[in-house]
Amino acid sequence: MAQGIDTDQNCTDYAGALYAAGIRFVCRYYSYDHHDKNLTAAEAAHLSQMGLYLVSVWEADGNHSSYFSTSQGTSDANAALAQAAACGQPAGTPIYFAADYDASQSDVDGVILEYFTAVDAVVKAAGYFAGVYGSGLTCSSIIGAGYASYSWLAMSTGYSGSEDYKNSNQWNILQSVGGYIAGINADNDRSNDDLPAGGGGWQVAPAAESG
């Protein structure tokens, strides 16, 4: 297993300290927001150069059922792909999409499933994989339906199905409470296998030398 973090802060200045602290992957965001929340090309290149892997997650406003729909899934997936390309994320790797709340069975079977059906179609057509971040119920249902290839279990063990899903060991990434880690405010994560395969980590390819 590999140790990682997730954070909405730019990690460029912390890469060396994170690696020295045993961190091997950093989960960073794509979204409609700006500033430090979103991964940048420069940050991705620097973290890769320092030996860290990136895990990318799309999270906009997905903390309530009214956010999710087929059209929202299509829009989010296309926006995520554009940001992935700008950051140098290679094809054949996953982008996680967040359903960051304790979704009910009816939500999961309805609007969330519709959303991930659209997400999966768009990202697969571009050569990427869809991942799901959320409760145990959300992760197990979307993975079971075949509309995500990777799952990232949110830290809230009180969410529906989360304790069972955690114990099943079927997740790719498991989130837990963090704090300040190597100087940066972050949550703890661990992958279910060595990166890059286990959690879907990726690195920016080194620039080709000219001449």
How many angstroms separate the Cα of 97 from the Cα of each of 13, 49, 142, 206?
26, 26, 11, 27
State the pLDDT at residue 38. Answer: 96
Q: Where are the domains of the chain?
A: 3-191
Q: Give the contacts of 128 (CB within 8 A, at least 6 positions apart).
A: 81, 84, 89, 91, 92, 93, 94, 95
Whole-number Å distance between alpha carbons of 69 and 120: 13
State the pLDDT at residue 207. Answer: 66
Instruction: Assign 203 to helix, strand or coil.
Output: coil
Q: What is the pLDDT along the chain (211 residues), one digit of tens a residue?
A: 899 999 999 999 999 999 999 999 999 999 998 777 999 999 999 999 999 999 999 999 878 999 999 999 999 999 999 999 999 999 999 999 999 999 999 999 999 999 999 999 999 999 999 999 999 999 999 999 999 999 999 999 899 999 999 999 999 999 999 899 999 999 999 998 887 678 999 999 886 544 4
Q: Does domain 3-191 have CATH number 3.40.50.2300?
A: no
Whole-number Å distance between alpha carbons of 151 and 139: 6
Q: Do the beta carbons of residue 203 and residue 54 sit within 8 Å? A: yes
Whole-number Å distance between alpha carbons of 20 and 74: 39
CB atoms within 10 A of CB 169: 8
Instruction: Write out the two tokens for 13.
Output: 């200045």
Considering Cα of 92, then 130, then 117, then 69, what sign does the dihedral take? negative
**Bond from prior residue into 196 cis (ω within 30 degrees of 0):** yes
State the pLDDT at residue 36. Answer: 73
How many angstroms separate the Cα of 80 from the Cα of each of 30, 56, 117?
6, 9, 15
Residue whose tokens read 């860290």: 52
Whole-number Å distance between alpha carbons of 207 and 45: 9
State the pLDDT at residue 195. Answer: 72
Whole-number Å distance between alpha carbons of 138 and 162: 9
Q: Do the beta carbons of residue 57 and residue 37 sit within 8 Å? A: no
pTM comes to 0.95
